[in-house]
Structure 1
Amino acid sequence: MHKLKTGFLLIIVGIALSTMTLLVGCSDSEEQPRETENAAAEQEEAASREAQEQREAAEEKEPLDVRILVSASIGSDRRLQVEGESNLPDGAQVQVIVERELSRVRWRERVDIQQGQFVAGPFGPGSGLPDGGYSVSVELSEATVQPESVQQRIGEKGEYLAGELVTQSRHGLGQIAVYTTRFMVGNEPRQSRGNAELLQTP
């Protein structure tokens, strides 16, 4: 009789434990979808906030009215040294191009803007530049090749650039800025075009 009671008690305890396990399992299975839903909602809210912040940042960003000033000098080797100032952000990559107007021969160098200034050159053959007119261009490279810090200021396609120096890239990659001036080397001012500056050779 005692064995029957003990067996009966064990059966009841077993049933009770099984029931509790089922209940706990149901509770866990109900909680998991809720947690998944909450995580998805939080991610969606975070993405929405980030998009809103980006829109606000774009609206608040003022256009950059690009300014570039250039000066040039002839060294004792009759080669041209170019110096300039600009309000473009530090790290901005520009190409400095010197072209002889008579022959269309070009020399170019890529430099970075640092603390609002840049230096390039010397330009010209080892024998020195012949007398005549020369154009000097400073061209801001497309935003796609600029450092990230520069892209943030000028835009991914140069959309924040403004002013009379701004033009469309020849490669369809957005806006760039181009400044061009002319200089005369030697004593032939009559060959000068535009508002060229006379640079006397030593």
Structure 2
Amino acid sequence: MFTPDPQTILIVDDSMANILALRDALNEYKCIAATSGHQALRFIHTQKQPDLILLDIIMDGMDGYEVCESLKSDAQTSEIPVIFLTAQSDPENLVKGFKVGAADFISKPFNIEELKARVANQLKFKKSLDNNTIYLKSIEEIYDTITDSMYYAQKIQHATLPHAAYLKRVLNEYFIFYKPEILLAGTFIWYTR
């Protein structure tokens, strides 16, 4: 199953004004909101995971860096892209954000067109990753089915070869050369005296 449209964005900000402005700007997506880092993590672990997280850095309790670090250290949530929304766009904060796993930064106050472009870019990339994962799982299932069939055919092939007890009884000397290419040999069996 492919990533559904519209994709879901989790907005994490302790300012309701920012949440409303972001929802309005990103109305083509399904936007949900959390007003704290703890609330965001609870939501992510109990509801359907979002396709993207817009995350404020400066929040009471758990800041955005801690939230992002927690998400990236969990195999279940590590692939969700995080865009930091912050008024702190100095190099030290940018580096710290990227080190904890941010995909991008948007400076506050944000430009709506820039916001839409960055969000669309991250969602497009996430959708590609999700769809590639689905394709790989499908290929693995097909490979497993083919391999299982080959092992079953190998058992049938072994069963068609004469047993050693029979060959000892009917032939004084004999040998069997059975060398499959991978799992199966050709179906040609040749006997001679």
TM superposition score normalised by structure 1: 0.28
Relative contact order higher in (CA < 8 Å, ≥ 6 apart): 1
TM superposition score normalised by structure 2: 0.29
